[in-house]
Amino acid sequence: MISIGNYKDKNVGILGAGLSGLAAAKILLNSKANIYIFDDKKNKPDIVKKNNWKNYKFWPWASLTTLVVSPGIPINATKKHDAIKLAIKNKIKIINEIDLFVETKPKARIIGITGTNGKSTTVALLFHILKFNKISCVIGGNYGFPACEIKDPGKSGIIILELSSYQLDGVKNLSLELASITNITPDHLDYHETFNKYKLCKLKIIKFLKRNGTFILNVNNKLLSEIINDKIFKSINIIKIKNSKVNNYINDNDYLKGFHNKINGSIAISIAKYLKITDEQIKHAIKHFKGLPHRMEPLHISNNVKIINDSKSTNGESTAAALQSFENIFWIVGGQPKLGGIGASKNFLDRVVEAFLIGKSTNFFRKEISKFRKGLPLHNCLTLEKATQLALKKSEKSNLKKYVILLSPSAASFDQFENFEDRGNKFRAIVNQKLNQGLKK
């Protein structure tokens, strides 16, 4: 692993022991720093030595030079963690793991991508196109490797950073050759406090573009088109794209179905073109692209039925994109609701045949859906297993020749599951068991 020379023998605190915190710990230990790491919500990980694991209250604050804060802990919020207050009081430099990665001085060209929804699919598709065409590249940040575990592919290589609002909120130093934002809609307001603060965090990615760096702007996005223009951002190049031009590239790839994937695809394709990959090379690569798990993931496709795992849709905007993509939907929805409820999903409820409510807030979702589509059959299932089985049973008994069973919760998963991956994996297991028993259609 790379070391950073100026941390040798320096005392550094690390707040948070998730993937980012542990990656920061590894690189700092390799740099011969004296680290102190702690996480309020976790026990000491096995890879951390006892002498490095110490409650922040007992860190040597007077001699600490730097505090590395994990992305899940707000640095700039009104209500700050006590360790951040102590760092401010003692005039200690506060950074996050992305800043630490920048200090390794990677030689590769760096592309940054953010957005409320679709950023991981965009990053994965771009990575696939580049790798398929034998361009050395690596993904890191919010998806892929934690930034500090990225192996620099060198001057001829590309580093693709997926950047969450949490990471952008905390980062201070980053130099991007190219950047894009898939979209901005209200999310993570418990962290950012207001939509305006969240929006400003996302837009911060433009600040990190080099002079004459390039921003890929999807002009179909009204909010972004109103904010980002040549008159205000004079020091960067803005490439304006329309998602309508993506159809000839995506064709019939089920993993890229839906209006939202036109946006994701158009951004990835435009970046690939910027990197001198030809149209034919891009089309050939996309033909072989397999999407990410839990994001409009087809679990079963036949002449009659499609079963789609969209567990990653944790907000109304993302679920709206899923509902917009299909008709005759048996919709599994619910979980830990977010501000805004089902959001833009309300505009596509006419595509839903019946809805199956899961989680501890079934009454909330019943009221939300009923406000916008009176008479839609709603079933309080509570558990994912019961909802899936009932959706399969109801759809099999319907007279519809073609229909879709869709898990797209429009809610966080933490009321019943560890995360959206856990929820999606359990859905897959239930579906596979049913498939093994044999669907009736």
Stretch among 186-200, 241-255, 341-355 having the lowest mean pLDDT: 241-255
Query: Which tokens is 160 given?
Result: 């693709």
pLDDT value of residue 244: 65
pLDDT value of residue 1: 64
pLDDT category at 191 given cuts 50, 70, 90 is confident
Distance CA 148, CA 20 (A): 8
Distance CA 362, CA 336 (A): 9
**Alpha-carbon distances of 222 from 17, 219, 229, 263, rounded to whole Å:** 38, 7, 12, 13
pLDDT value of residue 246: 79
pLDDT in tens, 202-253: 999 999 999 999 999 988 888 999 999 877 788 999 999 987 667 778 767 7
- Average pLDDT score, the chain: 94
**Which domains are assigned to the chain?**
5-96 (3.40.50.720), 106-287 (3.40.1190.10), 297-435 (3.90.190.20)
pLDDT value of residue 273: 95
> pTM score, two decimals?
0.88
* DSSP assignment string, 147-197: GGG-----TT-EEEEE--HHHHHH-----EEEEEE----S--HHHHSSHHH
Burial class from Cβ neighbours inside 10 Å (0-12, 13-18, 19+) for residue 283 reads middle
pLDDT category at 440 given cuts 50, 70, 90 is low
**Alpha-carbon distances of 33 from 9, 61, 88, rounded to whole Å:** 5, 15, 21
pLDDT in tens, 145-182: 999 999 999 999 999 999 999 999 999 999 999 999 99
Phi and psi at 52, nearest 5°, equal -90, -20
In the numeric block, the tokens 């919010």 are attached to 142
Per-residue burial over 155-189, b if 16 or more Cβ lie within 10 Å, else e, is eebbbbbbbbbbbbbbbeebebbbbbbbbbbbbbe
pLDDT value of residue 208: 97
pLDDT value of residue 438: 78
Stretch among 135-149, 181-195, 367-381, 422-436 having the lowest mean pLDDT: 181-195
Using alpha carbons, select from 170, 168, 201 the residue that is nearest to residue 184. Answer: 201
Residue 219: what residue type?
A: V
pLDDT in tens, 89-120: 999 999 999 999 999 999 999 999 999 999 99
Residue 415 pLDDT exceeds 60: yes
Residue 115: what residue type?
A: G
Stretch among 271-275, 292-296, 428-432 having the lowest mean pLDDT: 292-296
pLDDT category at 130 given cuts 50, 70, 90 is very high
pLDDT value of residue 257: 79
pLDDT value of residue 382: 97
Residue 268 pLDDT exceeds 90: yes
pLDDT in tens, 300-340: 999 999 999 999 999 998 999 999 999 999 999 999 999 88
**Alpha-carbon distances of 2 from 92, 141, 262, 370, 372, rounded to whole Å:** 24, 17, 38, 56, 55
How are the residues of the chain apportioned to helix, strand and coil, as percentages rounded to the nearest 5?
A: 40, 20, 40
Distance CA 243, CA 258 (A): 11
Residue 404 CB contacts under 8 Å (≥ 6 apart), including other chains: 305, 306, 307, 308, 326, 327, 328, 329, 330
Distance CA 169, CA 352 (A): 37
pLDDT in tens, 400-414: 999 999 999 999 999
Distance CA 287, CA 293 (A): 18
pLDDT in tens, 350-365: 999 999 999 999 999 9
End-to-end CA distance of the chain: 53
pLDDT value of residue 231: 73
pLDDT in tens, 11-70: 999 999 999 999 999 999 999 999 999 999 999 999 899 999 999 999 999 999 999 999
pLDDT value of residue 38: 98
Given a contact cutoff of 8 angstroms between Cβ atoms, the answer to whether 169 and 198 are in contact is no
